[in-house]
Amino acid sequence: MDWPPQSPDLYITKAVWDHLDTEWRKRVKTEVQAGPLYRVLGSPLSITCSVSGFRSENTDKHFEFRMTKPSNPDFEIQIISSHEDTFGYSSHLSRVRKNEITLKRLSPNSVRFEIKSLQKTDEGEYECTAVNLEGAYDGEYSAKTVVKVIEDSLSVSSSASTPLSLNEGEALTLTCLASSSTSQHTHLSVAWYLHKDGQEDAQPIISLNRDFTLSPGQGFERRYQAGLIRLDKWGEASYSLKMAEVEPSDQGRIYCQAQEWIQDPDGSWYIIIQKNAEEMTLTVKATGWNFTQSSQPAALQEGQELMLSCNINTQDVEKRFFSVAWLKGSVELARIGPTGVLTVAPEYSVRQKNGELRAARSGNRDYRLILKPVRTEDQGEYICTVWPQERGQDDTFIEGEPKDSKEFVSRKVKVMRPSTDNFTLAVNVAEGGGLHLFCKVDGVQGQLSVTWQHKSTSTAPFTEIISINEEGVTEIAEEFVSRKVRVMRPSTDNFTLVLDEVTLSDSGVYRCAVSERITNGKTHTQTQTTTVTVISIDTLMGVSLISRKTRVIVGEKLELMCRVKGPHMPVTVTWSVQREAKTPDTILTLSPDGTISWSADQNHYQLRVESRKTEVMYYLLVIGTSHREGGSYQCNVSVLLKNVHKELKASNQLSVIVINPGTASCSHLGASLNRKSHFFPVSSENNENVVSFSSKQTIVSLDRNSIVTESQVDLRQRISMRRSKGPTFELIIWQARISDKGLYTCKVGEWLQDPRGEWYLLSTKYITSSSYFYFLAPNLRLDKKEQQLTAKEGDEVKLNCSITSGASGSLFQVTWFWQKEIETKQRPIFTVYRNSTLQDRFGENVRLRYDHPDPSQFSLTFLNPGPDNSGLYFCEVEEWLPSLSRGWRKVAVEKSGHFNVSVLTEGRHVLTHLVISLIDFICQLCMLPVWLFSTLKWQSARKNISATCNVVDPVASPLAPP
């Protein structure tokens, strides 16, 4: 706007014109959260975007969100808009329509962009744009922030998940393991929760926040102050809950919850992941009554108030009577009787009259003793004793067994002045690391102020670092304004100095000065000093480069490992390689935030980082090594200190040699010999039926793509060749003949593809073997002899299955069959498979024992047979041989002779033999010149006994019909 205005109708002063000009030129500014924002895969993401400077402050502004991915930073992806439903690209539009990605208005000038569940592809740079509807542009209408999506590494587990039942007053200890292996700087908070039956939400028992401050949950404050509930941290990842005396109200499901926090660049803390451990169900049985004692506070100054409380826990407390007494050491101070009457020891009667000692019952459960003002002679140990009282028929009380609070908690009351106490008198810290100094104050009652000071040498004066006054206002010395320094106050009596990214000049003596203003206006100040030594990172850091092999064949993978030992801190790692006598070439640079700057073709490399307790491993994987990858490798480590890169360590130089691959070898794996035979490529210098893969006698040929290029005419219908893993080349002859026996030769030509994609013939070889292929017909033979086995009931009966011959390398499957009567079917009763698996199919309360004394013997023994087990038995054997193309194959099946088993009850055995002997005698008398088959049967009251006599004329022809 130019002065003077061109319109003659406009009457305005120069001052007013300048004011309007200033208002018109107000700049528009758009802001989002500063990045990078580290968020966990699967967790929500929210980005707040606000704009200022528009003339219409109360009108709703429209916003648009876009992003670019690290893999393609020049391509913008539209995500969501507040004024256009179809704004997003297809990759995000479906998620917007499912409300997985939303844009919520917070005010006319601000919105919140949200992704409910982050995906790895959501990593990138996000841009928020405020839509300008005013015509002219003057200011910043968009703002950007970077989002990093990291893996979920939070692990939470509990020591107990099985239900637990305790009696009222017993102790409970539970342990929770919570840890995170993320490379980012995060804090953990851990809390224990109780979820009671019938309640919608769980209630916290006690929690340890990210700044190590303990806080009891609502309803647990009294027991926490009395020391009956604790949360202790052991080591790096163990958090234990200790409840000295459980109460019936503690019944429910108890679990621990861990939250992982990260500090965003704007200084705010954000929960990136939250997980619960397994629940433990606790049942508390009410056993009678108990009580707890507490005092507030445990350390006092002269003139303050001491209050001791006893709380009785029992059911129907209003219907019961108790006497409560307080003792200091062995001296009783005061007692409240079952009817509420107070009696005081003589030495405290004067203080009672002066109102310095008071004791009373508050409600049915709480009993309190108050001493005010407290004196120096009042310090010591106080206990509470409680007696149950039963009212008799004459209204007199009968005193029961007392309970002493020493069984539960003891309180030592101290009267003292404030003093400070550092946990350590000397501290060593690594350069670039964080310094934490603790200052604890005892006997706090008034307002506190604290000042941290430093001096570099013992003779130099102290200079102030940071201070907090009584109102909590923090002041930082000018020298430390640009430094990351702060004071944390986990509790009222603890102050922690935190100084990040320390340098060597931060060594020296540190002093904590705490001042307290008490009621009379006086101020007490106490100090404590600590010596701090900052150790140069060069002396703590170690870098070495190793590899499992330094001679690599062309085309193989090469893995190099850069091991960085020392304190965990953000470092920059650079990989380089020197070829011949040239200047080293940089391959890549890995920044602390995970950003990779490539100087080489990244398609040939992969990078992996593995963090351990005492070291970090940086792996560089070279894919498809060529001769160009040969050379001397090195990794360099640097750290950013005060915005300046400091070179820390360079590893050793590791020489890598790339060689051509060796030639292939060919081995004889065997053949399966039956109607289809597999002949693996072998060769021999013998001349019996040698089939060569030469140009004159080629049987079949494959090219490098496993395509058949030629085959012998007379074998074309029966021959094939294929390639399998290994690589293995199989020559298959179908319907093998005797004429196919002999020695076979394979000719191997090895082709290699270099990393540039070109194929070349590396070598050609004839592979020689002395193996000779011949055919064996299955030759399985079993014992065919028929056997008569007779045994008494309960005696052992053994059925032997003997193999008299079989092929070498065979495995056998044996099955025993039983035929109960002649007309019944044969059924299997027991099988031994070739892999030694046993299957018992008898299932009739018969105990069996299987034995395999040698490779050709198999036996099955009946340990407790009965008459019902009589009948005909035999075994069937299957012979199996290995086939390299089809695995194991069955080549033969044979059956043994029959076992005629008779199992007799006691008393019938002799009679049976008499009958059999009589039949034998009759058979000897039958000397007829013809074939005679006769059967004699003897009927008993319970079973049939049968015998058969075959009478043969020795003159008759053996071919005569029966």
List the CATH code of the domain at 28-150. 2.60.40.10
Residues 6+ apart with CB under 8 A from 923: 949, 950, 951
Nearest partner of 321 among 332, 331, 336, judged by Cα: 336
pLDDT for residue 405: 63
**189 touches 239 (CB < 8 A):** no
Q: Tell me the pLDDT band of 565, cut-offs 50, 70 and 90.
A: confident
What angle is formed at CA 646 by the lines to CA 641 and CA 651, rounded to 5 degrees? 135
**193 touches 204 (CB < 8 A):** yes
Q: Tell me the pLDDT band of 289, cut-offs 50, 70 and 90.
A: low
Residue whose token pair is 């539009």: 93
Q: Which of 326-330, 601-605, 862-866, 954-958 has the lowest mean pLDDT?
A: 954-958
pLDDT digits (tens, 9 = 90+) for 174-209: 999 999 988 888 899 999 999 998 888 899 999 988
**424 touches 631 (CB < 8 A):** no
Phi, psi of 170 (to 5 degrees): -80, 165
Is 113 a residue whose pLDDT tops 80? yes
- Can you read off the two tokens belonging to residue 617? 């491993």
Q: Centre a 10 Å sphere on the Cβ of residue 26 and count the other Cβ atoms it contains.
A: 13
Nearest partner of 592 among 566, 618, 614, 627, judged by Cα: 618
Cis, bond preceding 36 (omega within 30 deg of 0):
yes
Interval 737-744 mean pLDDT: 61
Burial readout 634-649 (b: 16 or more C-beta within 10 A, e: otherwise): bbbbbbbbeeeeeebb
Is 911 a residue whose pLDDT tops 90? no
pLDDT for residue 266: 85
Is 959 a residue whose pLDDT tops 50? no
Options 2.40.280.10, 3.30.2000.10, 2.60.40.10, 3.40.50.10330; CATH for 668-771 is: 2.60.40.10
pLDDT for residue 150: 92
**879 touches 807 (CB < 8 A):** yes
- Name the DSSP letter for residue 479: G
**How far is residue 616's CA from residue 181's CA, in Å, rounded to a whole number?**
12
Termini Cα distance of the chain: 137
- Indicate the SS3 state at residue 28: strand
Amino acid at residue number 157? S
- Name the DSSP letter for residue 740: G
R_g over Cα of the chain: 47
- Indicate the SS3 state at residue 212: coil
DSSP-assigned beta bridge partners for residue 136:
none
- Can you read off the two tokens belonging to residue 396? 């007199």
Interval 465-471 mean pLDDT: 87
pLDDT for residue 940: 33
**How far is residue 571's CA from residue 856's CA, in Å, rounded to a whole number?**
70
Is 331 a residue whose pLDDT tops 90? no
Is 625 a residue whose pLDDT tops 90? no
**577 touches 632 (CB < 8 A):** yes
**How far is residue 302's CA from residue 519's CA, in Å, rounded to a whole number?**
11
Taking domain 781-904, whether its CATH number is 2.40.50.100 is answered by: no
> What is the helix (H) or strand (E) element at residue 910, kind and residue range?
helix 909-925
> What is the helix (H) or strand (E) element at residue 349, kind and residue range?
helix 349-353
- Indicate the SS3 state at residue 511: strand
pLDDT for residue 785: 85
pLDDT for residue 771: 44
Is 386 a residue whose pLDDT tops 90? no
Going 919 to 924 to 927 to 932, the CA torsion angle's sign is positive
**351 touches 299 (CB < 8 A):** no
Interval 230-257 mean pLDDT: 88
**573 touches 678 (CB < 8 A):** no
CATH fold of 154-285 reads Immunoglobulin-like (2.60.40)
pLDDT digits (tens, 9 = 90+) for 609-621: 888 777 889 999 9
Q: Tell me the pLDDT band of 772, cut-offs 50, 70 and 90.
A: very low
Q: What percent of the chain has pLDDT over 70?
A: 75
Q: How far is CA 569 from CA 146, 542, 641, in A?
A: 22, 13, 11
Taking domain 427-535, whether its CATH number is 1.20.272.10 is answered by: no
Same fold: 290-414 with 537-659 = yes
- Name the DSSP letter for residue 665: -
> SS in 3 state form for 384-450?
EEEEEEEECCCCCEEECCCEEHHHCCCEEEEECCCEEECCCCEEEEECCCCEEEEEEEECCCCEEEE
Instruction: Tell me the pairing of strands 280-285 and 164-167.
Output: parallel
**How far is residue 496's CA from residue 959's CA, in Å, rounded to a whole number?**
114
Interval 679-684 mean pLDDT: 35
- Can you read off the two tokens belonging to residue 22? 């200033």
> SS in 3 state form for 539-556?
HHCEEEEEECCCEEECCC
pLDDT for residue 927: 42
Q: Which of 299-308, 550-559, 786-795, 907-916 has the lowest mean pLDDT?
A: 907-916
**How far is residue 949's CA from residue 955's CA, in Å, rounded to a whole number?**
18
Phi, psi of 281 (to 5 degrees): -85, 125
Q: Centre a 10 Å sphere on the Cβ of residue 64 and count the other Cβ atoms it contains.
A: 21
List the CATH code of the domain at 537-659. 2.60.40.10
- Can you read off the two tokens belonging to residue 652? 């050793």
Is 811 a residue whose pLDDT tops 50? yes
Is 521 a residue whose pLDDT tops 70? no
Going 605 to 606 to 609 to 610, the CA torsion angle's sign is negative
Q: How far is CA 410 from CA 288, 404, 461, 810, 814, in A?
A: 22, 10, 45, 81, 78
Interval 897-913 mean pLDDT: 70
What's this model's pTM, rounded to 2 decimal places? Answer: 0.37
**306 touches 295 (CB < 8 A):** yes
Residue whose token pair is 């030992």: 565
Number of Cα atoms under 13 Å in the Cβ half of residue 650: 7
- Indicate the SS3 state at residue 828: strand
**322 touches 337 (CB < 8 A):** no
Q: How far is CA 426 from CA 422, 430, 534, in A?
A: 10, 14, 11
Q: Tell me the pLDDT band of 18, cut-offs 50, 70 and 90.
A: low
Break the chain into its structural domains and give their ranges. 28-150, 154-285, 290-414, 427-535, 537-659, 668-771, 781-904
> SS in 3 state form for 42-58?
CCCEEEEEEEECCCCCC
Mean of all residue pLDDT scores within the chain: 78
**How far is residue 291's CA from residue 738's CA, in Å, rounded to a whole number?**
99
Is 173 a residue whose pLDDT tops 60? yes
Architecture of domain 290-414: Sandwich (2.60)
Is 764 a residue whose pLDDT tops 90? no
